[in-house]
Structure 1
Amino acid sequence: MRKEIQTNLKFVDLLNEWDPFQLKNGSYETEIADVIAAVHELDHPLILAKRIQTIYEFSFEKLIPLESCLKVAGELLNIKANDSCSL
C-alpha cells in the first residue's frame, strides 16, 4: 500500500507541474483526483489523454489540446509502469 501512495504522489507532482491553465499549484485538486483514478483504470495513452481532456474541460469549460493531454498521459503511464514493475 505504501508504494501505491508514493506512486500517487508522483502523479500529483506531475499534474501540478503540468498546470494547463497556469493557475499555480493547488488549483486542480478535484481534477487531479479524477485523473489519478483514470490512470489506475486505463492503460492506453490515447484513451487516457481523452479522459484527461474531458475531466479538465468539464471543470474549466476550456479544451486543452489533445497533444498536451497525450504527452501528460504518456508520462503518467510511464510512472505507473515503472512503479508497478518494482512492486
Structure 2
Amino acid sequence: MSMSEMNRRAVRVLEEWDPFALGEERYGVEIGNVVDQLHVLDHPSDLAKQIQSIYEVSFEKWIPLEKCVDISYKLLALKYEAKSII
C-alpha cells in the first residue's frame, strides 16, 4: 500500500469514527491533523493523546482516552501495513 493510499484509508476510518455524531463531513481539519500526527507517531497512546487533544481543541468536548486508543490502533495498523509493503 502506498502512503497516499494509507492516507485515504486513514481518512475513511476517521470519518466513520464520528466521535460526536455530527456526520462524517464535519471533521475535515481534525482528520487532516490526525493524519499528520500518524506520520510522525508510532505508539498508540501517543497518537491517542494527540487525537484527544486535536478534537478537544476544535469542539471543546472531551473524548475518553480509551476511545482514542481504539482508533489509534486502527490507524497504526494501516501505517504498519503501508510500511511493510514499501
Calculate the TM-score normalised by the size of structure 2: 0.97
Deviation of 1:26 (Å) = 1.1
Determine the C-alpha separation between the residues in 2 that align with 1:71 and 1:27.
20
1:68 paired with 2:67, answer: yes
**1:28 counterpart SS class:** helix
Matched ranges for 1:39-78 at <5 A: 39-78=38-77
Counterpart of 1:31 in structure 2 is 30
Give the RMSD, CA atoms, in angstroms. 1.0
Deviation of 1:52 (Å) = 0.3
Calculate the TM-score normalised by the size of structure 1: 0.95
Determine the C-alpha separation between the residues in 2 that align with 1:69 and 1:78.
14
Alignment deviations for residues 7-63 of structure 1 (CA, whole Å, 9 cap, x no partner): 100000000010000111111000000000000010010011000000000000000
Instruction: Count residues in correspondence.
Output: 86
More helix by share: 2
Letter in 2 for 1:29: G
**2:24 counterpart SS class:** coil
Deviation of 1:78 (Å) = 0.6
Determine the C-alpha separation between the residues in 2 that align with 1:60 and 1:14.
19
Deviation of 1:3 (Å) = 1.4
Residue identity over aligned pairs, in percent, reads 44
Letter in 1 for 2:73: G
